[in-house]
Each structure stands twice: as C-alpha cells, then as structure tokens.
Amino acid sequence: MGEAHAPAAERALVIGGTGGIGFAVSLRLAAAGVEVCVHGGSSKERLEKTLAAIRAVGRTADGFLCRIDRVEHLVEPIRQRLPFTIVVVAFGPYLQGALTETTVRDWVRMSELNLALPGAVISLCAPAMQKAGYGRFVLFGGPRTDGIEGFRAIGAYAAAKTGVSSLVRSAARQLSEYGITVNAVCPGYVATEYYDRAELARLSRRMPDGQLVTADQVAEVVERLVQPGAAAVNGAIIRIDKGV
C-alpha cells in the first residue's frame, strides 16, 4: 500500500477529554484545525466548559457524557459517532496502595479500565480507519511504564499500564499496512487540577528543575504524533517526565 494521506476533514475522539491532560489535548487538536468529539464522565458543566473553550478559538466540537464503570458502557456511544481519523484515550483510573491491600475489584477495575478499555476502543475504531486507509491512535501509559519495573505504591495500576505498551506494539504491527499508527505517551508528574496545592509542591521538589510537566507539554507531544507527517513514528512509547 502506498503512502497514506489524511482526509481533508479530520475528526478526533478524545476519551477523558474534559479534564487534566485530556482537556489540554482537546484544545490542542481543535486549535490545529481538527474537529473534536469530546468524551466526559458525568459532569455536564465540565463538558460544556470544554466545548466552549474549543468554540472560543473558532472551531467546531461536539461531545457526550458517559460514566465508565465497565468497558461496555462506552461501546455504543462510540459506535454511534464513528468514524474518526484520530483517537486519543486519555482516561484511566489511578490506584495507590500495597498489593496486600488491593481488592479483587481493584484488580479487575485497573485491568479493565486501563488496559481492556483502550484495547476495545482500538477494536471499535480501527475497521473504519482500515477502510479509509488512514488513522492515528494515541494511548496513555503511566509513570515509567514504558518497560517492566517494580513499584512500591502503584503495583496494580502500573501492571495494567505496562500492558498498554504491549498493546501499542501489537496494534502498530497489525494496522501499519493500512496507514494507521498506534503510539503511547507515558507522562510522569503532571500539574493538573487533580492535585491539591500541597501535593503539587511536594511533587515539584522531585523534579530536576523544580517544575512539574504541564498538561500542555504532554498535549503538544500528542498533537505531533497524530499529524499526517508522523507516519514513520509507529509503536512508540514516549516518556514525558524530564527523565525522573
């Protein structure tokens, strides 16, 4: 198959696009001229704020709310809105705690929503991309989950996020002939509204320059990965953590 070319009108789905890094990704893609479909959890206010911010830069956007407790909850809302040329999965619950304190339900939730969910999203969205001969996926790993490591406090979460690296490389191998790329970013400590001021200060002290990575810095990398000219970057797992 020859070199893939992006369609004239690109359309992106950003799962988890109303807060933190996902919000920054939604705005970045919209500012780049992409029509964005924003998924939010249960807050209509946050979704409307995101769509208003996108429209403020002169772009069109739509969105939907779907609280995700099971992968199946997201299937029909996505199916109804296909096709997309870009899909970013910026959603995934975090869990801190010793393995001896991790419940069976914790294990199932970490595995399902951090690994099975992005896998299912690829399975849902890739067929339309294959037919079009073009597509871009960006998934999210966790801190230092680009390789196999041990963690004292986030064992269950990290195990699922490490699996994302294998998913990305498998999907990249299977879909590359259709002009589709699949990559992941692994942010470290990122300054978002999900941390309180004391925690932000504590985490900042762990950084070499005393500054946390910003959500927009992560979004900038995502934007580059989904550009038509990034076709050679496929199956990549990119750490965004200032080397910490």
Each residue's pLDDT tens digit, 67-108: 999 999 999 999 999 999 999 999 999 999 999 999 999 999
Distances (CA, A) of 214 to 3, 18, 88, 176: 34, 16, 18, 31
pLDDT band at 1 (very low <50, low <70, confident <90, very high): very low
- Work out the average pLDDT over 22-42: 96
Q: pLDDT-derived band of residue 131, with 50, 70 and 90 as boundaries? A: very high
How far apart CA 14 and CA 68 sit, in angstroms, is: 14
CB atoms within 10 A of CB 45: 9
pLDDT band at 6 (very low <50, low <70, confident <90, very high): confident
Q: What is the mean pLDDT of residues 132-136?
A: 98
Q: How many C-beta atoms lie closer than 10 Å to residue 96's C-beta? A: 13
Among 50-54, 139-143, 192-196, 199-203, the range scoring the smallest mean pLDDT is: 192-196
- Res 199: pLDDT: 87
Compare 122 and 202 and report the one with higher pLDDT. Answer: 122
Q: Quick check: bond before 143 cis, omega within 30? A: no
Beta bridge mates, 63: 38
Say what the alpha-carbon torsion angle 187, 188, 193, 195 is, to the nearest 10 degrees.
150
pLDDT 10s digits, 149-198:
888 989 999 999 999 999 999 999 999 999 999 999 999 888 888 778 88
Look at the domain 11-232 and name its fold. Rossmann fold (3.40.50)
Residue 5 pLDDT greater than 90, yes or no: no
Mean pLDDT of 97-125: 97
pLDDT attached to residue 4: 67
CA–CA separation, 137 and 84 (whole Å): 10
Q: What is the pLDDT of residue 33?
A: 94
pLDDT at 25 (0 to 100) = 98
Q: What is the CA radius of gyration of the chain?
A: 17
How far, in Å, CA of 180 to CA of 1, rounded?
Answer: 12
List, as one string, the DSSP characters of 52-102.
Answer: HHHHHTT--EEEEE---SSTHHHHHHHHTT---SEEEE-------S-GGG-
Closest CA to 229 of 5, 9, 2, 1: 5
- List 39's β-bridge partners, or say none: 64
Please tell me whether residue 221 adopts helix, strand or coil conformation. Answer: helix
